[in-house]
Structure 1
Amino acid sequence: IPSRNMDNETKFMITCMLFTVICSSVSSDEWKATVVKSIDALVTSCVVVPCSFFHTGGNLPSSRLRGIWHEKDGIKKTIYHEDPTLIKDSFKERTKMLGRLGQNNCTLEITGVKDYDYGPFCFRVELVRTENNDPTKDMFSFVEDCVELNMLTEPPKPAVIKLQTATKGEPYTVTCSVIHTCPTHVPKLTWNLDSTKVTVHHKDIKQGNWETQSILTFIPEEDDNREITCTAEFNGGLKSSFTFTLHVKRIENYNHIIIPAVVGIGTALLFGIPCILMANKYKNRIAELQNQEGTMWNRLSRLSILFKFTVWCIKSACILRVFCFVLFCFLFVYLFSF
């Protein structure tokens, strides 16, 4: 009989152990969390840690849930709790739950980041009684899904996208952007130019990283090697900047080539065409006289025509020289005025 009792006790103990293992695995399977493994945090600034969780029993109201953030090596080392008296002194008034637990959002904000806030930090969820807010036995710490903070003592520098050369009198656009991890207190981007055409965008680039963009548009003037600076001011007061030199080119103007060419062609046409017409006229007249009988009168007529043609050519040549001289003076003054 004693041996039979021992067998029963052994079976009972084995059954209890199996039941405990099964229950613990089921209990752990009831909760799932998604937390970034690591995220940059600028000292003196702030950081927002994206976090979400899932319960197989479906969504529960916020009134039945309590969210806690703690250090991985100790549940009692609380960095966030709805009861401020339970928070570590070094984190008091510096942490805030941004997400609504009823929407499975456990996102955490840490402000005034210290160089020792590196973590790792883990999220813990507890089910509480609605009537008195006391915790129940249903709770879970996501110690396998914790976040570590990469401490940055220097702020990241802005990145600038621009064209190498600007054109005088034409719109010029330059984009300045900076990456950060605190969407609740975004960096402020400013320019050293006075312009009303500045557009700012904020973009979620995932894994807790955000991008703030400032797009500046202005009309450049003469090339004076002006320096343009984009400055990023982060929450907490730290600043960084990027400076580049703007090179402005003039709009290409070919008037100094076109005008002389047009004047030259016009002059050639103005004097060339009449000369050709007059030469043809006298040539035809002389040919007519040569075809007639060679009387003294015809010979005198040919000589008269040749004389008139010669006089006309001499006058035209003089006028052309005077005109060319005036044209040369005009072109000289025009070309050397650029």
Structure 2
Amino acid sequence: MKDRQPLMAALNENMLIVNMLLSLFFLPGALTVYCGGYNPALRITTPNNMEALIGSCLQIPCTYNTKDPTYNSSKTIYGIWMKGGVNFGVNPSPVIFNSSGLINTFSLNITGNLKEKNCTTLFPNLTTSHTNKYFFRVENGPFRVTACADPLQITVKDSPWSPSINVPSDLKENQSVTVTCSAFTPCPQSPPELTWNLQQDSLRQTEKNTNGTFTTKIQKNITLSDTHDGYNISCSARYPVIGGNKTAETKVTLSVSYAPRNTSASISPSALVSAGSRVELSCSSRAKPPPSFTWFRNSKDGATKVSVSQVYSFNVTEEEKFYCVATNDLGQQKSSVILVDIKDDQSSEFQILNILKILGIVLLCTSIIIFECWFRFSKKPKKEPEEPTYVNNVMVTKAS
């Protein structure tokens, strides 16, 4: 019996040491040493940083993994969320949620199946005071470990996220494209409502991303034409929050390439020109990218190329017809034919002389008539005034 007393004393001493080590291991301050110096026994997969909107909720995608032999999925598993910094010994992180139901400060809800190592959590009714760093912990019998190597930073903001408008690059006319408006969706239970200035015939879809977050989007198929170049597409996302909605908008301008349109030719001076004088032909067209211009002369033998430029100047020698062609990578367009007409200078001079002669004759005749009228009027004798006749001292006038 006496021989067994030293053995029992040694066992008691070892048990005391083990208890002290276990106590030290589970002290809050020991977690920092454990995370920093050893491979963590619990790892979670979740975005490192997540943003949420005031008055809305946040769904945290979360899975966990451990290779610790003390973990036993057949036993009860509790998921715990803690809020605070890394150094738990100096500034202990308070437990804000325990799936056992003992603590739930922020009305959290683990929607994932902990037995399937799914710790997805719904965080409702967020305010700016919820902006902080959070840690997840699993308690499963003797397995009680915090994933202190995988903190989750949550930032709660007052302004919503602007939606994004996705349009394929290198747009061309007659091309059929799909335009997508998408918005970040931190709370898939209350996705944003998307509207835009395109025809409202597409259904809203909320899709799960590869990292477990969600995106809400609408789509529209468009067959492009030249009229879509410079067209502004606007899309707004309205997020439902407590007490109302918060809205953000995004706009993009389409850049569509198209073949030449409205190609026309003009001449300066536009009136009849004399032989030997210089004229300038100008070609214009609406196209993207800007077109090149080629001038052709129409003759009995067919069209002949005379210039590769927007403006073609030359001295007129005879009456001729011209047209231009605008060309870019997407096509070409021909202008209407323009006539360079030469005036008959001799015929014009003869007409002017005839007009002057006629004017001279008219002026001469008018002068003669005026003079004859004046002469006749000046030679007409003047009537003498008649003496009045008195009868019985009464003046009598003659009836005319």
TM-score of Structure 1 vs Structure 2, range by shorter chain: 0.5 to 0.7
- Whether 1:216 aligns to 2:229 is no
Shift of 1:158: 2.6
Is 1:246 the equivalent of 2:264? no
**What's 1:121 paired with?**
134
Structure 1 distance, partners of 2:253, 2:214, is 28
Change (3 A) 1:182 1:194: same
The equivalent of 1:87 in structure 2 is 104
1:30-76 C-alpha deviation (Å, 9 max, x unpaired) = 95231544422222222222242435356524x7323333435455x
Instruction: Give the counterpart letter for 1:60 in structure 2.
Output: S
197-206 or 109-118, which deviates more: 197-206
Separation of aligned partners in 1, 2:206 and 2:72? 34
Deviations 1:219-254 (A, max 9, x none): 345258542112223353322221123355553369
**Whole-Å Cα distance in 1 between the matches of residues 15 and 246 of structure 2?**
59
Q: 1:163 to 1:252 in 2, by over 3 A?
A: farther
* Number of equivalenced pairs: 260
Describe the shift of the 1:228–1:119 C-alpha distance in structure 2 as closer, same or farther (beyond 3 A): same
1:33 correspondence with 2:43: yes
TM-score by length of 2: 0.49
Indicate the structure with greater helix content.
Answer: 1
Distance in structure 1 (CA, Å) of the matches to 2:193 and 2:154: 23
Which residue in the other structure is 2:115 paired with?
102
Is the radius of gyration larger for structure 1 or structure 2? 2
Cα-Cα RMSD:
4.8
What's the counterpart of residue 375 of structure 2?
Answer: none
Give the drift of 1:110.
0.7
Match of 1:334 in 2: 336
Partners of 2:337 and 2:228 lie apart in 1 by 22
Normalised TM-score (structure 1): 0.56
Which residue in 1 is equivalent to 2:233? 228
Q: Deviations over 1:144-176 (max 9, x none)?
A: 244331222222223334367755554344343
Specify whether residues 167 and 108 from structure 1 end up closer, same or farther in structure 2 by C-alpha distance, changes over 3 A only. Answer: same
- Give SS of 1:251's match: strand
Distance 2:147 2:228 in 1: 60
- Report Cα offsets for 1:184-238 as digits up to 9, x if no partner: 54444432210546795735253x6544554432134525854211222335332
Identity value in percent: 18
Q: How does 1:168-247 map to 2 (within 5 A)?
A: 168-194=173-199, 196=201, 202-206=207-211, 209-220=213-224, 222=227, 225-236=230-241, 237-247=245-255
**Unpaired segments ≥5 residues, structure 1:** 128-136, 270-320
Give the secondary-structure state (helix, strand or coil) at the position aligned to 2:43.
Answer: strand
Aligned position for 2:81: 69
Rounded Cα–Cα distance in structure 2 between residues aligned with 1:248 and 1:186? 33
Displacement of 1:138 in angstroms is 3.5
Question: Aligned equivalents of 2:259 and 2:206: distance in 1?
Answer: 32
Matched, 1:48 2:59: yes
Which region of structure 1 is more displaced relative to structure 2, 20-29 or 101-110? 20-29
Change (3 A) 1:82 1:245: same
Contact 2:52 2:58 in 1 (8 A): yes
Deviation at 1:180?
4.4
Give the secondary structure class of the aligned counterpart of 1:116. Answer: helix
CA deviations over 1:234-289 (Å, ceiling 9, x no partner)? 3533222211233555533699799x96x946x426xxxxxxxxxxxxxxxxxxxx
Do the aligned partners of residues 166 and 53 (structure 1) sit closer, same or farther apart at CA in structure 2, a change above 3 Å counting?
closer
Cα distance in 1 between the residues matched to 2:11 and 2:174: 91
Q: Distance in 2 between matches of 1:235 and 1:247?
A: 34
Higher RCO (Cα < 8 Å, 6 or more apart): 1
More strand by percentage: 2
Counterpart of 1:231, as a letter, is S
Q: How does 1:220-299 map to 2 (within 5 A)?
A: 220=224, 222=227, 225-236=230-241, 237-247=245-255, 250-252=258-260, 264=298, 267-268=300-301
1:112 to 115, 120, 125: 125
Identify the residue that residue 273 of structure 1 maps to in structure 2.
none
Paired AA for residue 268 in structure 1: D
Q: d(CA) in 1 for partners of 2:200 and 2:253?
A: 17
Alignment of 1:299-310 (within 5 A): none
Deviation for aligned residue 1:114: 1.3
Match of 1:149 in 2: 154
CA contact (8 A) 2:209 2:215 kept: yes
